[in-house]
Amino acid sequence: MKVPFGTITIDQKAKDLVNEALNTGRVSNGKFVRQFEERFAKLVNAKEAIAVSSGTDADVLALAVLYDLGAKRGDEVIVPSLSFVATGNAVLHAGFKPVFVDVELETLNIDSAKIEAAITPQTRAIMPVHLMGKPAKMDVIMQIAKKHNLVVVEDAAEAHGAMYKGKNVGEWGDMAAYSVYLAHIITTVEGGVVTTNREDFAEILRSLRCHGRACKCKVCVVNTSNSYCAKRFAQGKDIRFIFERVGYSSKMNELEAAVGLSSLDMYQQIIDKRHHNLITMIDRLKEFDQYLMTIHEEKDERIGPHAFPMIVKKGAPFTRDELVDFLDKHEIDTRDLFSSMPTQCPGFDYLGHQLGDFPNAEYAGNNGLHIGVHQDIHQEHIDYVMATIRDFIKSKVR
């Protein structure tokens, strides 16, 4: 039996919308992108949603808003040491210095008790990551941010549908960055979204995604209806060629948004199935509690069901890589549980961190893996995964 890590569901509506865009010739940022933004914002209870080309760009652009608030290049952004490398890369691409904080092994999220010690006069923001869809402790993080006058950008790339203490993930911070990559619950194949309740931030973000242009209306009449724009020459020069800030080329296109609109139609069905799969796997893994650990859903939260993480415990008679190899031989697709960015990703060596500086992130990086919980996984797949793990452990325990 094959158990793939990810899947994508593309229905007839998506195909029809893609063909409509192709037939009209409007394939760049247009009416479908705007419809996707409106529906995404409503779903996550945000006033504004700005669609961009990737989840990484969503992080980058959200952080780049800090320059309009007075930040300088080289200022600092606090991030967890364990995440997909895009989190740390985004800080650098935005022109800031990542300041890493170790994670809690039980939650895989930033250890909020260690954040304040990392704050310096150059700190401008905190970017917590809701890893694997498990919500970070946003109430504590927001208290720290308020005390030190810091912006909070939630990296919610994997956390569609996650909730913490009665609020959606993404509602806590000043902005939230989502990925809508093909393996995620909501997908545009490639893409990202930044959400915010601040209209001024939304305007800046629309400028940033298109080279820093002064052209940043919420609804572009030219792109959505091919109508005359009264603002175009209001400043005496074509507003599309007035650049107010250093920007990026990060627009979502109409074909991607078409897939996204269809994905939103299927959202509840998909997330319910994925959440059921995740909770079932968490419960079933208790059989192997002596050797493997995972995250748990607490009473005051709902995990956004991105994937199912497992970490090999200390003292187990096998390694993560041995388990991964066995699963792979039995056609169960896996991914490593990321890495400690500052000490296990060579690109960050220049920051001068040493192995041992982030022990929990490093342990997860060496001993963690994750497998899919997507909508094409059914009970027989879960049974097969657990039976395969059982067979592996029996082969190692004598």
Residue 93 falls in the annotated catalytic set: no
Q: Which of 50, 87, 94, 90 is nearest to 246 (CA)?
A: 94
pLDDT of the residue at 221: 67
Give pLDDT, residue 246.
Answer: 96
Distance of alpha carbon 198 from alpha carbon 203, whole angstroms: 9
Per residue in 177-225, pLDDT (tens digit) is 999 999 899 999 999 999 999 999 999 999 999 999 987 767 766 676 6
pTM for the predicted model, two decimal places: 0.94
Domains contained in the chain, CATH given = 12-265 (3.40.640.10), 267-396 (3.90.1150.10)
User: How many CB atoms are closer than 10 A to CB 290?
Assistant: 11
Q: What is the pLDDT of residue 217?
A: 67
The pLDDT, as a whole number, for residue 216 is 75
Q: Which residues of 229-264 are buried (b: 16+ CB within 10 A; e: fewer)?
A: beeeeeeeeebeeeeeeebbebbbbbbbbbbbbbbb
The active-site residue, picked from 130, 160, 184, 370, is: 184
The residues of the chain scoring below 70 in pLDDT are 217, 220-222, 224-225
pLDDT at 223: 72
The pLDDT tens digits of the residues spanning 66-86 come to: 999 999 999 999 999 999 999
